[in-house]
Structure 1
Amino acid sequence: MEAEEINLKLLKFLAKQYPTMDHAITEMINLQAILNLPKATEHFVSDIHGEYEAFSHVLRNASGVLKTRIDELFINEMSDKERRAFAILIYYPEKKMKQVADIEEEMNEWYRINLLRVIRLCKVISSKYTRSKVRKALPKEFAYIMEELLNEQVDTPNKEQYYYEIVDRIISLNKAEAFMCAFCHLIQRLAIGHLHVLGDIFDRGPRADKVMDILQQYHSVDIQWGNHDILWMGAASGSGACIANIIRNACKYSNLETLEDGYGINLLPLATFALDQYKDQDYSLFMPVIDNEWDTKQDDVRLVALMHMAITFIQFKLEHQLIEKCFDKEMKNRDLLGKINYEEYTITIDGMTHQLNADVFKGINPKAPYDLSKEEIEVIDRLRSSFLQSSKLQEHIQFMFTNGSMYKVYNNNLLYHGCILLTEEGTFKQIQLDGKYYSGKAYLERLEAIVREGYFNVLDKEAKQKGMDIMWYLWCGSNSPVFGKQKMTTFERYFIQNEETWKEPKNSYYEYLDDEEMAMRLLMEFGINSEEGHIINGHVPVQVKKGEKPIKAGGKIIVIDGGFTKAYQKITGIAGYTLIYNSFGLQLASHEPFEGVEEAITSEKDMVTSMNVIEYIPTRKRVKDTDIGKDIDGQIKALLTLVEYYQLGLLKTKES
């Protein structure tokens, strides 16, 4: 078919949406105006690891940005204490108003004052958006009134009485609380134009499922998969090895809530098996890490430890099956149950022999250490069934696939969780996969394609199994770009006292993090303007307390894993980062530990956040400078062609 004929068909299709020349011209004017608005604010977070309460707060306060706006707007009319209370109202309107109602005698007057303030703040936050975009974000039941309040000028004499009458009528009809909540949630939504999550949503922290609930409802979000995320994706696909690793992690950190309460995973088969098979064995090496604040009964600790022990050995046996057929032959070095000398209970790793605790391995058959017993097979089959049948887990994982990827290029920035594999010499590492060699961008894309088949390909069992196997490999493999280390020393950490064996050497990528030339090459590999672009990634916590800086390679690489979850805060010394990219440049928000929602409301104590400007843009960025702007520009050109066809009579207009 000729190109001209194709263009005509496309224009006829476009003409159905814009049936007259005036329709097309009006839309062109609208789109041209949008191009000149300030770019929407992007927020980048990483390594949330189930820390849903702190993560939720960071979204509610826009990483400290909203408090700054409140201070700027009300500095001359509200005290510092009043501004703190007002900020908490914006973040948690329902709970804050309930607290105020218990002590405030004149609630109607309180509503009037604070509703007017909330509307003023909302006007400031929404000013960078079109009326149409704001309108789409309004709750349908209040949309007309909210739009009137946002767009009318209160200081205009002819409209002042009209404006205040609306507010007074809202209060007299007992709708002040509902409108207050609607405006506060609108402010939260508009403060962050788009959210990037750079991996590791799952594991460690208390409720990754609640983090996923938040992300599912978020208005604009993308995810770059981390190795913990891909582990859960593999488990939801049915991979026994991935399931075993997840449950082992949950037992290790005494964090079974996400599995049992969040996803309804039935752990009773594992608990019953562990009590039966390991009740007389020494489980001291498998004691869970318990938060001192938790009131945990000793019997519960013992049961979790026994489950931990049972699933660990099941994991090693299942992983043996995958290692045997793995494309990466180096993984055989990780197949350690079969390397134990069961007469002396020693193991030799990297030329060094280590003594093991004989009592721990009583459940292992020395002649066939990798054989799963009938009971172990039954346990993993029942667990697999529970994972596959969890509707909420499957819903969340499908969301991960729909909104996620191995990497993303967005507004001239390159986003990924872990690393791009490099050799010691700093060249892109070549990996043989499917009989071909891949590196850099091509390797990530090939891995993503295989991973997607592992979840979605129900017609080709071989392709599906290969995809599930790759998901396990991406969790812990030496050539996994989302793991980024030579080995995962799970066995050594459990059974060998020499901490030197626990080390997990990183890929050479991390040796080049401060090399600006390398950063430029990485950007070019992904087709990014290396002068303007940045690489943003997480995965390895920035040890701030030791003086490490998150800004690398002369500002070209920004590592944003600051320890959202409590497990890493002893390493980082802070409680997470948010990178903020607005129309004026890049800022890095450094968060202090969050003391909880109830503490925030009762004490009016916000999360302490420090802001550091990374890059200031002297000429404010507009929508036309973004990826969305490029799409809009393409739409304008198409509409311009449509108008020309109307003018030449090549298309007939349809009068409305």
Structure 2
Amino acid sequence: MALAEENLTEGLEYDLKYLKLLSNQYPTIAEACTEIINLQAILNLPKGTEHFLTDIHGEYEPFIHVLKNASGVIKRKINDIFGNSLRKKDIKSLATLIYYPEQKLELMLKDESNIEDWYKITLYRLIEICRYVSSKYTRSKVRKALPKDFAYIIEELLHEQPDRLDKEEYYSEIIMTIIRIGRANEFITAISKLIQRLVVDRLHIVGDIFDRGPGADIVMDTLMNYHSVDIQWGNHDILWMGAAAGSEACIATVLRICARYANLDTIEDGYGINLLPLATFALEFYKNDDCLNFKPKIESDKNYSEKDIKLIAQMHKAIAIIQFKLEGEIIKRRSHFNMEDRLLLEKINYGEGTIDLEGKNYKLKDIHFPTIDPKNPYELTIEERELMEKLKSSFLNSEKLQKHISFLFAKGSMYLNYNSNLLYHGCIPLNEDGSLKKVKIGATGREYKGKELLDRFEILAREGYFYKNNPEAKLYGMDVIWYLWTGTDSPLFGKNKMTTFERYFIAEEETHVEKKNPYFKYRDDEKMCASILKEFGLNPESAHIINGHIPVKSKKGESPIKAKGKLLVIDGGFSRAYQGQTGIAGYTLIYNSYGLVLVSHEPFESTQKAIEEEKDILSTTVVLEQEVERKRVGDTDIGIELKQQIRALEMLLEAYRKGLIKEQR
């Protein structure tokens, strides 16, 4: 054994208590040896395939389709196996069957004259595909993924060799029996979903699940049922997390954005939050106001009547005014946020209908403010206070919302180091010279920067949600969550200000400008990327930064590849709101054992057309990096953990052999 005797003895003395606990799991030398052999073998398997997606923004249909087709990987696997023996039409149909087995089976069987033959051919093909995509995993890992009802049968079929004469009849009889007893549909569904699962080993969501699109709640349900996922919080996610925690400013902002995009169904139907109090309030105070500047942006296919649009606009304006008031309360309460420049309600001349910004006077587009007291503009009226209490209660008591946000805290973080990739949604705050910016947090004025800053923000965000028995700490945590949504030095926002008020009330576009953090000026600089990677403990020679947040304007020639491949921006426009800017409909970054691949997606028409007309998302693939030697599990973070386990087991073996621990026979 290649372990130094003196080091081993020292380690045994130090870890004897741990080794005694480990011996309960591996009570004999034989069992410890078997596990060492098993783990050592796993280290030499190809690394699992990771998929990275970002900025989904509630667009659940294209998102779910991308998960089902594994960003085009499943069709490529079918081509690998059957490209020379099947027509393109048949490959297309087989791929669609794997994506949507239940729905597609119903349609396909209507057109089949010999159903038994079709079943037999299809089952053989699906088994062959499943065998191909499972080949890089251990039997144990595949076994854990198997559907319960067909676990034994699928395992037999996957590991059988049908070309062997002594087992050919056995193999064929399993297939024929599945068909004869009427379980073919269920088996096809089960094995199709298994293929979907095995093609992607781990899914990374680099922020912004919520807002704009119509089904953030459906996206969250999908992620909660996904086999392996992590999430890096985006600014829109943190906003919803603050709302679920009870931050009234976050609640008002969530409702304002939903009203702006005519997406109130997510609130009412998705999360069961009652908006009748807001509608009643809006009708009372804005009944004679057309609220033209607050007409919703309707990007879905849903048709609204003029009456509905007017009501949404009135609700939109009502909650926007409340939002500005609530934000003012936070800014005044937390002077160290340095956001006094956003106290705009007090800069309005209500008699003249103008506002003074940075020494310049602007005429307001809308001067109807029935709930603002010019002498105390940030004070909520009695009616506004009652409304917010009702809305807050609805958010806090939405079982589904709380379940989703708890999942975001459990699976999410401000950033993630994973297999030499640094994932974060927005930016790392920098100074104008490209150095890490120090940011004051807390009344003490302590400064944080870089990794330490993100770590501190994450702790405070968790306190804002979980510290129910410490009101002061919870309130500060909720205020920090709001700051992460919109604050000048928020790594999730990355701009000097959010000009929401100006866009609603001032025509001059010079007031709408939001200056980006210097990070975005330097993100094509290799030295800057290297310094950030070092800050987070990664090797700049082999590591990458993966971002979302700012849509890549592909149609204008902008590349998602920055700093010669050190930084990758993969926000390609899942949200319809951004597709006019990007020219595409999203990216998937794929990291498999052969290297990094970037896939760009064309717009997705609908799930119905995908099933009925077999209209898949058209995707373009670009190989970013190709490994000279195929990456193995031993080269990954999991590999590091397995090597540590092997080391511990080797120490346990020595303890058994030296008699420090007795075998349990």
What is the TM-score when the length of structure 1 is the normalising length? 0.98
Cα deviation, residue 458, structure 1: 1.4
| Amino acid corresponding to residue 539 of structure 1 in structure 2 | H
Partner of residue 19, structure 1: 27
Cα deviation, residue 287, structure 1: 0.6
Measured in 1, the distance between the counterparts of 2:335 and 2:184 equals 63
Do structure 1's residue 371 and structure 2's residue 379 form an aligned pair? yes
SS in 2 for 1:424: coil
Contact 2:299 2:577 in 1 (8 A): no
Do structure 1's residue 164 and structure 2's residue 172 form an aligned pair? yes
Partner of residue 643, structure 1: 653
SS in 2 for 1:437: strand
Comparing 341-350 with 316-325, greater Cα deviation is found at 341-350
Superposed CA offset, 1:358-378 (max 9, x none): 543243222222111111001
Cα deviation, residue 41, structure 1: 0.4
| Amino acid corresponding to residue 351 of structure 1 in structure 2 | G
Partner of residue 280, structure 2: 272
| Amino acid corresponding to residue 347 of structure 1 in structure 2 | I
Contact 1:327 1:433 in 2 (8 A): no
Superposed CA offset, 1:463-489 (max 9, x none): 000000011111001010100000000
Do structure 1's residue 465 and structure 2's residue 488 form an aligned pair? no
Do structure 1's residue 489 and structure 2's residue 499 form an aligned pair? yes
Measured in 1, the distance between the counterparts of 2:662 and 2:566 equals 52
Do structure 1's residue 405 and structure 2's residue 408 form an aligned pair? no
Do structure 1's residue 326 and structure 2's residue 337 form an aligned pair? no
Partner of residue 464, structure 2: 454
Q: Which residue, out of 54, 65, 83, partners 2:73?
A: 65
| Amino acid corresponding to residue 497 of structure 1 in structure 2 | A
| Amino acid corresponding to residue 551 of structure 2 in structure 1 | P
| Amino acid corresponding to residue 609 of structure 1 in structure 2 | S
Corresponding residue pairs, total:
654
Partner of residue 93, structure 2: 85
Q: Which residue, out of 614, 627, 630, partners 2:637?
A: 627
* Within-5 A mapping of 1:406-445: 406-434=414-442, 435-445=445-455
Measured in 2, the distance between the counterparts of 1:5 and 1:396 equals 46
Partner of residue 550, structure 1: 560
Measured in 2, the distance between the counterparts of 1:473 and 1:3 equals 47
Partner of residue 240, structure 2: 232
Superposed CA offset, 1:196-242 (max 9, x none): 10000000100100000011011111000001000000000000000
Comparing 367-376 with 587-596, greater Cα deviation is found at 367-376
Cα deviation, residue 501, structure 1: 1.3
| Amino acid corresponding to residue 146 of structure 2 in structure 1 | L
Contact 1:238 1:387 in 2 (8 A): yes
SS in 2 for 1:420: coil
Measured in 2, the distance between the counterparts of 1:501 and 1:118 equals 58
| Amino acid corresponding to residue 301 of structure 1 in structure 2 | I
- The verdict on how the C-alpha distance between 1:170 and 1:246 changes in structure 2, with shifts beyond 3 A counting, is same
Measured in 1, the distance between the counterparts of 2:438 and 2:216 equals 34
Partner of residue 348, structure 2: 340
- The verdict on how the C-alpha distance between 1:190 and 1:365 changes in structure 2, with shifts beyond 3 A counting, is same
Contact 1:574 1:592 in 2 (8 A): yes
Cα deviation, residue 351, structure 1: 2.8
| Amino acid corresponding to residue 205 of structure 2 in structure 1 | V
Measured in 2, the distance between the counterparts of 1:378 and 1:301 equals 25
Measured in 1, the distance between the counterparts of 2:433 and 2:391 equals 44
| Amino acid corresponding to residue 436 of structure 2 in structure 1 | F
Q: Which residue, out of 212, 226, 230, partners 1:222?
A: 230
Structure 1 stretches of 5 or more lacking a match?
A: none
Structure 2 stretches of 5 or more lacking a match?
A: 1-9
- The verdict on how the C-alpha distance between 1:594 and 1:497 changes in structure 2, with shifts beyond 3 A counting, is same
Superposed CA offset, 1:431-488 (max 9, x none): 1112211100000000000000000111211000000001111100101010000000
Runs of 4+ in 1 over 4 A off after TM superposition: 2-6
Contact 2:127 2:157 in 1 (8 A): yes
Do structure 1's residue 498 and structure 2's residue 508 form an aligned pair? yes
Measured in 1, the distance between the counterparts of 2:644 and 2:564 equals 34
Partner of residue 609, structure 1: 619
Cα deviation, residue 399, structure 1: 0.4
SS in 2 for 1:586: strand
Partner of residue 113, structure 1: 121
Contact 1:421 1:484 in 2 (8 A): yes
Contact 1:412 1:534 in 2 (8 A): yes
SS in 2 for 1:202: coil
Measured in 2, the distance between the counterparts of 1:82 and 1:358 equals 59
Cα deviation, residue 291, structure 1: 3.0
| Amino acid corresponding to residue 654 of structure 1 in structure 2 | Q
| Amino acid corresponding to residue 21 of structure 1 in structure 2 | I
Partner of residue 194, structure 2: 186
Superposed CA offset, 1:288-346 (max 9, x none): 11137322112111111111011011111111100102244531111111110112111
Partner of residue 582, structure 1: 592
What is the TM-score when the length of structure 2 is the normalising length? 0.97
SS in 2 for 1:61: helix
Partner of residue 519, structure 1: 529
- The verdict on how the C-alpha distance between 1:378 and 1:362 changes in structure 2, with shifts beyond 3 A counting, is closer
Measured in 2, the distance between the counterparts of 1:457 and 1:515 equals 40
Measured in 2, the distance between the counterparts of 1:407 and 1:462 equals 26
Cα deviation, residue 502, structure 1: 1.0
Q: Which residue, out of 12, 16, 20, partners 1:8?
A: 16
Contact 1:283 1:360 in 2 (8 A): no
Cα deviation, residue 139, structure 1: 1.4
Cα deviation, residue 5, structure 1: 5.2
Measured in 1, the distance between the counterparts of 2:437 and 2:367 equals 42
Partner of residue 54, structure 2: 46
Contact 1:224 1:416 in 2 (8 A): yes
Comparing 24-33 with 430-439, greater Cα deviation is found at 430-439
SS in 2 for 1:86: helix
Cα deviation, residue 105, structure 1: 2.3
Cα deviation, residue 350, structure 1: 2.5
SS in 1 for 2:599: strand
Superposed CA offset, 1:123-177 (max 9, x none): 1100000000000001122111010010000111111111010000000010001
Q: Percent identity?
A: 57
Cα deviation, residue 411, structure 1: 0.5
Contact 1:274 1:307 in 2 (8 A): yes
SS in 2 for 1:360: coil
SS in 2 for 1:578: strand
| Amino acid corresponding to residue 591 of structure 2 in structure 1 | Y
* Within-5 A mapping of 1:386-401: 386-401=394-409
SS in 1 for 2:394: helix
